[in-house]
Amino acid sequence: MYRALVLGAGLAQGAVGAATGCFQMLPRAQNSSLAPSKDRWPGGLHLAVDYYPSQWPEFMWEPDVARMRDANISYVRVSEFDWAVLEPTEGNYNFTLLDKTLELFEKYGLKAIVGTPTAGPPNWLTEKYDVDFVDRTNATLQFGSRRHYSFSSFDYRVKSQKITQKMAERYGTSSTVVGWQLDNEFGCHDTVRSYDHNAITRFRTWLKEKYGTIEAMNDAQGRVFWSQGYENFEAVQPPFLEVYTNNYAHTLDWYTFSSDMVIDFAKEQASILKQYAPTHAVTTNLMMSYTDFDHYKFAREVGIDFATFDEYPLAAPSQFSWLSDTELADYLRTGLPDYQALHHALYRGIAGAAYNATAGPFGVMEMEPGVLNWNNYRVSPIEGMVRLWTHETFAESGDLVNYFRWRQVPYAQEQTLSGLFLSDNTEDGGFVEQQVMANEDLPKLREAGSGDALEPQRDVALVFDYASHWVWAIEPYSGSWDVKQAGYTSPTLKYFDLVYTFYSSLRRLGLSVDVIGPDQPLDGYKMVVVPSLPIIPDTFDSALSSYTGPVVVGPHTGSKTPDFAAAPGLNPSAGALREKLPMRVTRVETPPEYALSAVSYNGTTYNISAWEETIVCSRDNATSTASITSGSRHRKGKPAACTKDGAHYLAFSPPADLLVAYLGDVAAGAGIKDLAGRTPGVQNDLGATMRLAKRGDLLWAFNYGVEEAAAPEVEGELLIGEAGDVPAAGVVVWKV
């Protein structure tokens, strides 16, 4: 019934490509800058929503838009999956629906974020052109869902640029459009690495440009081993469907090449948009825990004006195998206390990369308002969590929270995904919480000026690196090799798990933290934390050599050369870390929990598993101090961490409780205070569910628990919430 109504809702009204209102075809913009600009995105605190008029009958459109205005919605994202609507047959364009949508937005004072529709190629395109995605089992994926294209397809590049240009020509000077979203969730559903013949052709060219000669490539990749040497570049294949383990350096090249293809694809669209829509902001919706392409390089080379990501907190707990059953139960309906904040910090730093800074404007392009249709276990957030997640975005310096979506659709693949409204157009719980945020909380935050400026640099820098994730995945020192997956399965430790544990510990300490890439500057930070950095880039090595504050690095750091070989002279590799900290790693083990491995720090013993290195706190006649010792049966009393002059190396996978103690002591020694003005350490551990965040002179306390919890004592004016314990899913805001 709904689809029949939609087909009759005016989608095909008027002549193909007919212009209405102010949306005439526009002349090509002249002298437009391709550089990012913060001026293109209006600062402040904004609420937004996703809306898909193509999925609803036309008589519903205007009442919906009027209700959005009344709900204090500022922006609406549209059209990111409408290619078949906008270009129903090749070369024949029908912008009637988008014209009418923008006219309604203009009438009711809303602004649009328009998506380029390239995440959903229409059937005519997939039937006529060579665009198919091929997975690592050499299976060609079929039309019928989304993202069924290869970033390397020559045909798809041409067609994607053409539809982008047509849209940009038409709406590039529209005052109703505030920004553009490139595609949708680049690489979602494991689609960064396509093994199609176009990708293979481009990969061979990429390798030739990198190495020059096939002999140089064979030598750099160590292909003398097992007689793997290629005769010429035309014979080179991606690392898949080989009998046993793939060549590590070749796999790293493939991952890097595939990342570059995403960036190239996005650059093509962004350059068109900035040419025809020079005053509109450009972004894309990135994802949580997604590491298949380098987002820092993406931000720098694509030149996005602001960064956004899609926030689905209830999907997080099931991603971490090390959580206990009790923790899984506690966070089932709240999400993990530090998962959202980690991504706020990550994308704030990624936004900064576009501006050669450590922070930039960012927001959430999709916020979960209820039940997820794709989660392992489909449950509802407890009352208050949608409001809490919204507050947390603003507290961490975000400017935008966009709820996905306006109304739950009753057909097709996302019919079990909650919206702000149920499919019968009645309010759902997410809308109720959005209204509390919009009508009660947001005016107070705006009046207090919390969104007037980007929060300055934090005290602590945590270094996150996409290449490090690839190195950990390619050779995790554990797990079982799977030919069809072209990789190891069930490793004992993953890079992202290590990062989360370090970040969560810093948050439990109440510290203010930036997440930055290894190419961003360290100047001004009071403390630097590196969970792991197997290949140390020259830029980071240079920054580290002149940095004078404390630096804490985790296991596997400095262990590999850029060609994925073991560091000469044993790790840490030659450079600033080795110069600051005389030590050597002589062996790596990945013991199971039943091995009963342990470490001791400051009189307390902590159980460890998954990663344990044998280290010596000396090198070249220089020595360092063992700050943590091993309690494992085979290494009892031996060093488990080395330190000297503010440099620290932890040679194992550290549990959060140990990191709270160790990082707290390092931070206190550096004179750092927590966000409540206290000395950081185990004595001021915020615990499992209470968290703090600060923006300007506003301080937030969030309770991720299902029971009330005590917040630290704060001197200041209570702006939102009540004095005393913070209720479950509660938010308190002070002006300090």
The string of DSSP letters for 43-106 reads -S-EEEEE--GGGS-GGGHHHHHHHHHHTT--EEEE-TT-HHHH-SBTTB---HHHHHHHHHHH
Measured in degrees and rounded to the nearest 5, phi and psi for residue 47 equal: -105, 145
What is the amino acid identity at position 572?
Answer: P
Q: To 10 degrees, what angle do helices 656-669 and 495-508 make?
A: 60
| 3-state DSSP helix/strand/coil % of the chain, to nearest 5 | 35, 20, 50
Which residues lie below 8 Å from residue 55, measured CB to CB, with a gap of 6+?
A: 2, 6, 409
Task: Say which DSSP state 75 is in.
Answer: E
Q: Quote the pLDDT of residue 453.
A: 64
Amino acid at 706: V
Q: Tell me if 488 sits within 8 A of 476, measured CB to CB.
A: yes
Q: Is the pLDDT of residue 661 over 80?
A: yes
Residue 428 has which token pair?
């759902």
Paired residues of 643 in beta bridges: 625, 648
The secondary element (H helix, E strand) that includes residue 169 is helix 154-171
Confidence band, pLDDT 50/70/90 cuts, at residue 376: confident
User: According to the model, what pLDDT value does residue 2 have?
Assistant: 38
Alpha-carbon Rg for the chain, nearest whole angstrom, is 26
Q: Are 26 and 170 in contact (CB under 8 A)?
A: yes
How much is the pLDDT for 451? 64
Catalytic-residue membership of 708: no
Partners of 482 in beta bridges: 487
pLDDT surpassing 80 at residue 21: no
pLDDT at 236: 98
Amino acid at 637: G
Summarised one tens digit per residue, pLDDT across range 199-227 is 999 999 999 999 999 999 999 999 999 99
Tell me the helices (H) and strands (E) count for the chain, helix number first. Answer: 20, 28
pTM over 0.75: yes
Q: What is the pLDDT of residues 384-443, one digit of tens each?
A: 999 999 999 999 999 999 999 999 999 998 999 999 999 999 999 999 999 999 999 999
pLDDT in tens, 298-350: 999 999 999 999 999 999 998 898 899 999 999 999 999 999 999 999 999 99
Note whether 520 and 349 are within 8 A (CB): yes
DSSP structural state of residue 566:
B
Domains and CATH numbers, the chain: 46-129+141-191+278-448 (3.20.20.80), 460-670 (3.40.50.880), 682-735 (2.60.40.1180)
Q: In sequence order, what DSSP letters do the residues of 290-348 get, joined into one string?
A: --SS-HHHHIIIII-SSEEEEE-GGGSGGG-TTS-HHHHHHHTTT--TTHHHHHHHHHH
Q: Are strands 690-695 and 513-516 parallel, antiparallel or unpaired?
A: unpaired
pLDDT at site 158 = 98
Q: pLDDT band at 458, cuts 50/70/90?
A: very high
Q: By the 8 A CB rule, do 640 and 652 touch?
A: yes
Whether omega before 572 lies within 30 degrees of 0, making that bond cis, reads: yes
- Judged on CB neighbours under 10 Å (0-12, 13-18, 19+), 442 is buried
Buried b / exposed e along 262-274 (16+ C-beta atoms within 10 A): bbebbbbbbbbbb
Where do we find the tokens 């999709």? 366
CA distance 688 to 690: 6
- Mean model confidence pLDDT for the chain: 94
Amino acid residing at 119 = A
Alpha-carbon gap, residue 162 to 30, rounded angstroms: 19
CA 548/CA 647 separation, integer angstroms:
10
pLDDT band, very low/low/confident/very high, at 689 (cuts 50, 70, 90): very high
Residue written as token pair 């050779």: 475
- Residue 387's pLDDT is 98
| 456 — pLDDT class (breaks 50, 70, 90) | confident
| 34 contacts 271 by C-beta, under 8 angstroms | yes
Q: Is 383 a catalytic residue?
A: no
Q: What's the confidence (pLDDT) of residue 452?
A: 67
**Which of 185, 433, 612, 613 is flagged as catalytic?**
185
Phi and psi angles of residue 398, each rounded to the nearest 5 degrees, phi first: -70, 155
Separation of CA 735 from chain center: 30
Distance CA 731, CA 658 (A): 28
From 724, 533, 555, select the one nearest 544 (Cα to Cα).
Answer: 533
What pLDDT score does 7 carry? 36
**Is the pLDDT assigned to residue 27 strictly greater than 80?**
no
- Which residue is listed with tokens 């040679």? 651
Report the share of the chain in percent with pLDDT over 90.
92
pLDDT digits (tens, 9 = 90+) for 101-152: 999 999 999 999 999 999 999 999 999 999 999 999 999 999 999 999 999 9
Residue 366 near residue 340 (C-beta atoms within 8 A): no
Question: What is the C-alpha separation between 495 and 477, in angstroms, rounded?
Answer: 12
Kindly name the residue from 80, 169, 311, 366 that is annotated as catalytic: 366
Residue 278, preceding bond cis, omega within 30 degrees?
Answer: no
- For the cut 50, the answer to whether the pLDDT of residue 25 exceeds it is no
Contact 265, 236 (CB under 8 A): no
